Amino acid sequence: MAAAKEAASKVEIDMESTAYTAKTLEAVRALHRQHGNVRAVIQAYLHRSEKDIEDLNRLVVSVRLLKGAYLESSDVAFAGKAEVDDSYRRLMRRLLNEGAYPALATHDETIVAEVVKWAGEQQIAPERFEFQMFYGIRRHLQQDLVRRGHRVRVYVPYGQAWFVFYAAPGGAAGQRLVCTEKFRLRLDRGNFSGTTRVPLIGGIVKYWGYFLAKLVAAAAIVYGLWRVLRAFGPRPAPMVVRDQVVKLDPFATDLGFTAAMMGLFLVSAALVALAVIDQKYRCRTCLRRLRMPVSHGQWDHVLLGRPRTEYICTFGHGTLKVPELRLASPELVKWQPNDDMWKELEELSELRK
């Protein structure tokens, strides 16, 4: 606490499940009385949070507001996303109006837009609060906020357990449901090591080559099944037509064989569909499956952006944006690479050497 005070900084006390909420806030109040430079973390999905924020504002304790993501009973927490979002908006307005330099931790673009709108309507200067987001998450939003004069604090987890911090229910500022661009990173003793980047042309060849290999494998499976059916299927006796022997096709003369062939056709169509869907949700660089689907936008806020789902490569190569509905001017599935992220990480590594 003393070192942070000398650096004109604060020590932020993170929040865990409700089993520790009261004890954590008690520790925050004690540290505030003794040192002053402490910030509490409040989870918007808890029923008690409005009263906690009222008490902390009265004590002039800075608050970091996040949604919260621990599995709690309905007795102590809001269960639905809409309820949690409404609570966040309500507490956000109170902190902006009454709080001591609040920190709004969210990657939700809709809520961020509402924060900016409310601050403008209430004539709250940008230097009176800050946004908090994780490095590599909502990068375009972070940059846009800075360009518009807002303060954005970017968190960079590090150490051996960084991935657990990102993926755990309480990680990512309680925003596990809105993470969009997670990266694989290790800064260990000043040296950077990450996944190897693949050149653009090489990545394209690798991606489509893998898709072609799956189609070839599907074709081989279908051909093998067809050969089995032909080998063990019925063999109709040939017919003599005008003194000529005509071999009959079992597909046209045997109902069971016809059904089996139609089933084979359906299997082949399903294999192709699976290959296409699997390929769609793979990283264009490393071919790993994209993870952590995140929904963005709402139909009642369609002017802020069409509803879409985003999937991320856990090794930081990019984000896949999939629209929920194709309208008259269709919004196509879009892959957004993160090459600039790797450049930044390498620069950070060079600075630490």
- pLDDT greater at residue 213 or residue 287: 213
The DSSP line for 248-284 is PPHHHH-HHHHHHHHHHHHHHHHHHHHHHHHHHTB-T
Averaged pLDDT for residues 270-299: 82
Quickly count: other Cβ atoms within 10 Å of residue 63's Cβ. Answer: 24
- Beta strand extents in 106-260 (DSSP E only): 130-134, 152-155, 187-188, 191-192, 239-241, 244-246
Q: What's the helix, strand, coil split of the chain in %, to 5?
A: 50, 15, 35
List of residues 6+ apart from 166 with CB closer than 8 A? 134, 157, 172, 179, 182
Q: CA-CA distance, 170 to 322, in Å (whole number)?
A: 26
Least confident of 154-158, 198-202, 209-213: 198-202
The 8-class DSSP code of residue 321 comes to E
Q: State the pLDDT at residue 316.
A: 66
Q: Does position 53 have pLDDT exceeding 70, yes or no?
A: yes
Q: Annotated active-site positions, please?
A: 14, 64
pLDDT tens-digit readout, 115-170:
999 999 999 999 999 999 987 777 778 888 999 999 999 887 766 555 556 555 44
| Token pair 């949604």: residue | 67
Q: CA-CA distance, 239 to 230, in Å (whole number)?
A: 19
Least confident of 167-171, 183-187, 194-198, 218-222: 183-187
Q: State the pLDDT at residue 309.
A: 80
Most confidently modeled range among 246-260, 274-288, 305-319: 274-288
Least confident of 98-107, 214-223, 304-313: 304-313
Q: State the pLDDT at residue 77.
A: 92
Cβ distance 296 to 276 under 8 Å? no
Averaged pLDDT for residues 179-185: 32
- Give the class (CATH, top level) of 2-175: alpha beta
